[in-house]
Amino acid sequence: MTDAPPVATRGLVKRYGEIVAVNGVDLTVEPGDVFGYLGPNGAGKTTLLRMLLGLIRPTAGSAELFGRNPIVEGARALDGVAGFVEGPRFYPYLSGRKNLRLLADYDDGHSRSRIDEVLELVELRDRAKDRVGGYSHGMRQRLGIAASLLRQPRLLLLDEPTTGLDPAGMRDMRDLVRRLAREGITILLSSHLLYEVEELCNRVAIIRKGSIVYAGPLGDLLATATTGYRLRATEPERAHLLALAHSGIDQTVLVDSELRFKADDSAVAALTIALGQARIGITTLVHETASLEELFLGLTGGESSDHDREAVA
C-alpha cells in the first residue's frame, strides 16, 4: 500500500441514465506531481474528483488513493488526503479560527495545534478573528486550503482554486500552490485556466466528453507543438522566391508582405545567410510555437475550457 501512487483510476466510468459523464478513465498521479486536470465545460472533471473522494459511486472501474478505495474503505481511504470540490464551505457567522477549530475537532485532537501554522501559511492570521461572512472570495478559498492543511495531507485535491479571484488573488493562490508543492505535497489541480496549469503543473491530463485524450508530462505535450517562423524583409517577393528554393524551408507562404514558413534551426540560419548574400534585409524574424491553448483546442475539437460544473443527481 505504501508504494501505491497517490491517485490511480482504472477503467473509471460514471453514467447518469444515458449520459456518460466519465468514460473509462485511466489516470495515475505520481508522488510529488503538481498534476493539472483540464477539460471543457461538462467534460467530467468534477465528477471524477467526487468519485476519488468517495462522494459518488462509480458505475464501473476503480478509483484509489494511495492504494485505498474510498467506496470500499470509507473514511480510512482518505487518510493523508484533503482538499475541496466546488469550493470550500464554512459557517459565515463564525470566525475563520472557530471554523478551523470545529473542523479540527471533527478530525482528530492533534489538528487544533496546527491552526496558527496553517493560518500563517495562507496569510490569514491577521483576519482569523473576523467572521467568515465578511471574507472576500479569495480569503474563503485560502481558508479552504488552510482547513485542508490541518490534516497534514500528502495529497491535496483542488477544484478550480482561483475561480472568481481578482488578478492579485490569483497570483497569491498560485504562489501558495507552489509553496505547498515545494513542501512535498502532491497536488491534483482541476482548472479551466490554461496559463495557470502551464505555470504550475509538471504533468497534465486533458479530458473530452468524459474520456482522456492526453495524459503525461506537460513538457512532452508542449514538445508536440508545431513551430514556425514569421519573417519580414525589405524585398518580400524576392525573399519568398529564395525561401521556396531553399532546402529545409517548408510550408512557405507570403501573407500581407510577411513570409511564414516552418523549418529547423539550421535551415533558418542558412536562409538568413542566403538573404544577406542576396542583399535582402531582414527587418523581423519571429519564432512561434503553438501554445497550450492551441494544443488544448486541437485535442478537444475546439471546445473551450470554460468552468466545469456538472449538474448531477
Give the CATH number, domain containing residue 269. 3.30.70.100
User: Strand, helix or coil at 35?
Assistant: strand
Last residue of a domain, one of 165, 195, 219: 219
Mean pLDDT, residues 108-114 = 80
In a domain, 306, yes or no: no
- pLDDT tens for 216-273 read 998 888 777 667 889 999 999 999 999 999 889 988 999 989 999 988 889 999 999 9
| Predicted local distance difference test score (pLDDT) of residue 56 | 93
In a domain, 310, yes or no: no
Q: What is the DSSP letter of 235?
A: S
Q: Distance (Å, rounded) from C-alpha 85 to C-alpha 46?
A: 7
In a domain, 67, yes or no: yes
**Host H or E run for residue 162:** none
In a domain, 2, yes or no: no
Same domain, 249 and 191: no
In a domain, 149, yes or no: yes
Same domain, 133 and 280: no
Same domain, 40 and 119: yes
In a domain, 111, yes or no: yes
- pLDDT tens for 129-154 read 999 999 998 899 899 999 999 988 99
**CB-count exposure of residue 305 (10 Å: 0-12, 13-18, 19+):** buried
Same domain, 269 and 128: no
Same domain, 114 and 41: yes
Same domain, 146 and 183: yes
Same domain, 248 and 170: no
In a domain, 307, yes or no: no
**Host H or E run for residue 134:** none
Same domain, 191 and 55: yes
For 41, the grid coordinates are 465545460
How far is the CA of 39 from the CAs of 158, 194, 237, 275, in angstroms? Answer: 15, 10, 43, 45
Provide the edge-to-edge strand list for the sheet that holds 258-262.
250-255, 258-262, 227-233, 282-289
Beta bridge partners of 12: 25
The band of 311, judged by pLDDT with boundaries at 50, 70 and 90, is very low
pTM above 0.85, yes or no: no
Last residue of a domain, one of 219, 243, 272: 219
| Residue 65: closest CA among 197, 55, 44 | 55
Same domain, 97 and 232: no
| Predicted local distance difference test score (pLDDT) of residue 303 | 58
The number of distinct structural domains making up the chain is: 2
Give the CATH number, domain containing residue 84. 3.40.50.300
Mean pLDDT, residues 273-302 = 83
Last residue of a domain, one of 177, 204, 219: 219
Q: Cα-flanking dihedrals φ and ψ of residue 162, to 5°?
A: -105, 5
Sign of CA dihedral 80, 83, 85, 88: positive
Q: Are 308 and 41 in contact (CB under 8 A)?
A: yes
* In the predicted structure, residue 2 carries a pLDDT above the cut 50: yes
Which domain, by its residues, includes 234? 226-289
Same domain, 212 and 72: yes
Pairing state between β 81-84 and 155-159: parallel
In a domain, 312, yes or no: no
| Predicted local distance difference test score (pLDDT) of residue 191 | 82
Same domain, 200 and 243: no
- Own/partner pairs, 201-204, CB within 8 angstroms, 24+ separation: 201/33, 201/34, 201/35, 201/36, 202/33, 202/34, 202/35, 203/29, 203/30, 203/33, 203/34, 203/35, 203/36, 204/35, 204/36, 204/37, 204/38
Same domain, 245 and 134: no
For 166, the grid coordinates are 481578482
